[in-house]
Structure 1
Amino acid sequence: MTESGMRRRAPVNAGAWGADADKPKAPIASAKVLERMDVFTKFHDEDKIQTSRGASMALFSWVLVLVLLCSEAYEAFLEHLVVDTSLGDKLNITLDMTFHALTCADVHVDAMDVAGDNQMQVEHNMLKQRLSSQGERIGFPFLEDPTDFDSKKADALVGAAPWDYCGSCFQARTHTGACCNSCQDLEQAYLTQGLPMGKIKNTAPQCLPGFQAPAPSGPMQKGEGCNLKGFMSVNKVAGNFHIAFGDSVVKDGRHIHQFIPSEAPFFNVSHTIQHVSFGDEYPGRVNPLDGKVKYVSSTVGTGLFQYFIKVIPTHYKGRAGEAIRTNRISVTERFKPLHKEGEARLTGDSHAHNDQTSVLPGVFFIYDLSPFNVEVSTVSVPFSHFLVKLCAIAGGVFSISRLLDNVFYYSGVFLGKGTGFLAGTPR
């Protein structure tokens, strides 16, 4: 440059760049090379063709991406199978079921297992609720045998009893279904049958302070129903619990039911299972027996309902570190009618006679334990995995949608329809 600001022409032999030429054009060349690596090509606005139907496809693609992303943002359950090493534990069974045609005086739960442990009438932790033939409640829930029941729970039953209340006589109950509506009635019933009162006087609702005895009411009527709700604790071995016809006794080490055979056809075991579970609840557990409804038809008659339950020990671990040792179950069921004629109608055999089989009418829950323990843990998708899925979903959806848009557009052009089959009118 001269003092006047004019550029001096470089000598001919000054080299390719000249003496005072701007030095480096290499960065410009490097930028050109870098631009060629751009895979995100741009178009001028006048080179774009935008259509309303293309916009609809883009909107649909966005919605689809959001839906797929929401489906990926979830908590999963990771399950691991190990050998069950727990020994000597108890199995807590929660039961809530309704018998539509059996009075509460006829509903008793017995439990027995392969270890030879027989538990007769294990209703001391179960509340019974009388129901009318229309399913309406009669009175309020009562305890059949409150000897081992928590007195704090029994306090919830204290109060003014309704006019149609029929207090339980517990172990002093009679076949006529007489009511013990006061503590004096209960004492008289035990005295008449020569039974010791024991702790019942301290736990029976009729004997608790504040209980108001209602006016005398009649015995339970035929046609009433009964809701049974509570829990029982049994040995953690294979066994069964059942509600069946007759009086249960243990004779010569065997669990038997004593009854009059001619009365068996009238033992209607129509029932609804509101809830049956083994152990505590945990998130995601399914109880297959919940909501099960079974009715005895007049054509087939009463019989034996059997639920074969496989109990699978389960150890649940939540995200917050909480641990729950419980069980899950799988169930199969079977019904066997009391009379051969009813069984014939189920099987289609027309040669059977109406002879009574050796079936005991009732509902049996027969359970067996799995030797394996399932460890269930809650896991969520890591954020890095979520980002990878986000890229994969967004890229895949928009690539496919753009491919389809191009196919429809150029197919329309090829067929002479101007802006394409799905392109619509250019904006």
Structure 2
Amino acid sequence: MVKIVTDILKLKIPRDLTEASLSGAGLSIVAALAMVFLFGMELSEYLSVTTSTSVIVDKSSDGDFLRIDFNFSFPALSCEFASVDVSDVLGTNRLNLTKTVRKFTIDSNLRPTGYEFQSRPATNVIKHDEKVDEESLEGAFVFTSDNFDKYAHQFPITAVNFYAPWCYWSQRLRPSWEKAAKIIRERYDPEMDGRIFLGKVDCTQEADLCRRHHIQGYPSIRIFRKGSDIRSDHGHHEHESYYGDRDTDSLVQTMENLIASLPSESQKLALEDKLNVENAKRAAPSAGGCRIEGYVRVKKVPGNLIVSARSDAHSFDASQMNMSHVVHHLSFGRKLTPRAMSDLKRLIPYIGNSHDRLNGLSFINERDLGANITEYLLLIAGCIDLHASMEHYLQIVKTEVITRKDYQLVEEYEYTAHSSVAHSLHIPVARFHLELSPMQVLITEQQKSFSHFITNVCAIIGGVFTVAGIAESILHNTIRLMKKVELGKNF
């Protein structure tokens, strides 16, 4: 032990480590700056997050159903007939969903024109007269573009049947409407009484008049009230639509109740009968467009989300249907919490922007046209003949990100979209074909451990110190050698 201590005391510290020099001071400063720089780089790498990506079989935590949130605007589809349907390859076929879907009337510029459109309640098959009385087939007044405004403002109540001669439902309504008009005219002579007036409009002959009142399905029974039918800034009459039974007795009773409602609203309520007129009449759409928003739940199998014009008691002219639309929002999966949404914004570089690929895009039924308001006006005005469906093919894949914050799981559905125009003989629709992938992408955030960070910091300090020592030793010995050479020359 004594020998070891003696050997240590005999150790001699190199002179280059004990002698101060200007070069040594400069080298020390450079070494210190190098340590600080490398430490900063290591700290930045420690605080940064790396990701690893893998593809696995879909093990979704949200079950066997997928939620679809949407917000579409159809400038030329009336809320009166707009229907949201879903179907899939397993045989599911749900029509006219209303529980989670809301509709708002809009004008051709996509601006809202009123309150939420209330869909009529589900009813049984509408009743018609079984027997046709040929003698009563001419009882309703024929309206034209020239005389419509005159009579609509002349009588307190004007009921109009907008029809098309080729329509099956218009043909079934015709005898009942004509007979009811004849009965009402005999009871309430327009010249003597003047409280109510019944008429009809042939939409194949008066296309402009029907378009002005946003008639998209035949027959459409509209009720105009004097004093409330003033044209608004959007160019329409305030009026109601009748959705009740179409037999003669029901029509006559409805007209009687309308007449009874003229003195006061209280009398109207007192005279309503079992026909439940309030359920049969609802405000008609004040514009020809509709904004549809809400959500649906579908099975995770190939299927379709369809927006179309649908009615069990109306006919549609396919050549006049225009399914041009704007996709304001379309997303899949559960709605994210605010915390998950903040993480999603941070994780956008990992998952991309394909989760909202269609958002804000416009689709019209003519390849040569762009998507602006002027072209919408041309389409709605009937200057372009459209008989086509808009088809969207969506391939959907789920992406899960396991974050480093308490192992939080962020779920997002990404999709690719391809759109096209499909011509057919059927009623045009806007169809979203859904193809869900059985695989999912799993992205895991990874961060270096603190022990790895400390080890690298120690390695930086030791490495820089060693390199600086070697450099100082070489520099010091070089200077000494040069001094010796100079001394040798002098002697």
- The TM-score normalised by the length of structure 1 is 0.50
Q: Report the equivalent of 1:239.
A: 303
Q: Alpha carbons of 1:146 and 1:311: their partners in 2 closer, same or farther (altered >3 Å)?
A: farther
Q: Report the equivalent of 1:336.
A: 421
- Counterpart of 1:364, as a letter, is R
CA distance in 2: counterparts of 1:42 and 1:275, whole angstroms: 74
- Counterpart of 2:317, as a letter, is I
Q: Alpha carbons of 1:295 and 1:94: their partners in 2 closer, same or farther (altered >3 Å)?
A: closer
Q: Alpha carbons of 1:361 and 1:382: their partners in 2 closer, same or farther (altered >3 Å)?
A: farther
Q: Deviations over 1:204-257 (max 9, x none)?
A: xxxxxxxxxxxx9874223x4x3322111122221011223x4377xxxxxxx9
Higher helix residue share: 2
CA distance in 2: counterparts of 1:119 and 1:177, whole angstroms: 29
Matched ranges for 1:354-369 at <5 A: 358=425, 361-369=428-436
Unaligned runs of 5+ in 1: 1-22, 148-172, 182-186, 196-215, 250-256, 339-356, 403-427
- Counterpart of 2:392, as a letter, is Y
Does residue 288 (structure 1) correspond to residue 356 (structure 2)? The answer is: yes
Q: Alpha carbons of 1:219 and 1:393: their partners in 2 closer, same or farther (altered >3 Å)?
A: farther
Does the CA-based 8 Å contact 1:131-1:138 persist in structure 2?
yes
CA distance in 2: counterparts of 1:307 and 1:68, whole angstroms: 49
Q: Deviations over 1:27-80 (max 9, x none)?
A: 244353xx69x9xx8995633797xxx99xx79x97897588546524455554
Shift of 1:84: 3.9
Does residue 221 (structure 1) correspond to residue 290 (structure 2)? The answer is: no
Unaligned runs of 5+ in 2: 123-217, 229-239, 251-281, 345-350, 370-383, 469-491
Q: Alpha carbons of 1:388 and 1:190: their partners in 2 closer, same or farther (altered >3 Å)?
A: farther
Q: Report the equivalent of 2:111.
A: 136
CA distance in 1: counterparts of 2:362 and 2:324, whole angstroms: 8
Q: Report the equivalent of 1:308.
A: 393
Q: Report the equivalent of 1:384.
A: 451
Matched ranges for 1:397-416 at <5 A: none
Q: Deviations over 1:274-329 (max 9, x none)?
A: 232233445436513352412425835754433322233556655435567x5623
- Counterpart of 2:436, as a letter, is L
Does residue 47 (structure 1) correspond to residue 28 (structure 2)? The answer is: no
Q: Report the equivalent of 2:56.
A: 82
CA distance in 2: counterparts of 1:67 and 1:177, whole angstroms: 75
- The TM-score normalised by the length of structure 2 is 0.45
Selected match of 1:370 from 424, 431, 437: 437
Q: Alpha carbons of 1:337 and 1:372: their partners in 2 closer, same or farther (altered >3 Å)?
A: closer
CA distance in 1: counterparts of 2:73 and 2:24, whole angstroms: 71
- Counterpart of 1:260, as a letter, is D
Does the CA-based 8 Å contact 1:311-1:368 persist in structure 2?
yes
Q: Report the equivalent of 1:411.
A: none
Shift of 1:369: 2.3
Matched ranges for 1:88-237 at <5 A: 89-142=64-117, 144=119, 175=220, 189=242, 191-192=244-245, 219-222=285-288, 224=289, 226-237=290-301
Shift of 1:130: 2.7
Does the CA-based 8 Å contact 1:271-1:293 persist in structure 2?
yes
Selected match of 1:30 from 3, 8, 11: 11
Q: Deviations over 1:328-354 (max 9, x none)?
A: 23213121264xxxxxxxxxxxxxxxx
CA distance in 1: counterparts of 2:88 and 2:112, whole angstroms: 34
Q: Report the equivalent of 1:299.
A: 368
Q: Alpha carbons of 1:70 and 1:30: their partners in 2 closer, same or farther (altered >3 Å)?
A: same
Shift of 1:377: 4.7
Q: Deviations over 1:14-34 (max 9, x none)?
A: xxxxxxxxx9763244353xx
CA distance in 1: counterparts of 2:422 and 2:76, whole angstroms: 17
CA distance in 1: counterparts of 2:91 and 2:317, whole angstroms: 26
- Counterpart of 1:271, as a letter, is V
CA distance in 1: counterparts of 2:412 and 2:285, whole angstroms: 40
- Counterpart of 2:90, as a letter, is A
CA distance in 2: counterparts of 1:174 and 1:261, whole angstroms: 15
Q: Deviations over 1:160-207 (max 9, x none)?
A: xxxxxxxxxxxxx9857889x9xxxxx995654699xxxxxxxxxxxx
CA distance in 2: counterparts of 1:390 and 1:176, whole angstroms: 83
SS at match of 1:371: strand
Q: Alpha carbons of 1:177 and 1:274: their partners in 2 closer, same or farther (altered >3 Å)?
A: farther
CA distance in 2: counterparts of 1:242 and 1:25, whole angstroms: 95
CA distance in 1: counterparts of 2:22 and 2:5, whole angstroms: 36
Does residue 73 (structure 1) correspond to residue 47 (structure 2)? The answer is: yes
Q: Report the equivalent of 2:332.
A: 277
SS at match of 2:86: strand
Q: Alpha carbons of 1:46 and 1:83: their partners in 2 closer, same or farther (altered >3 Å)?
A: closer
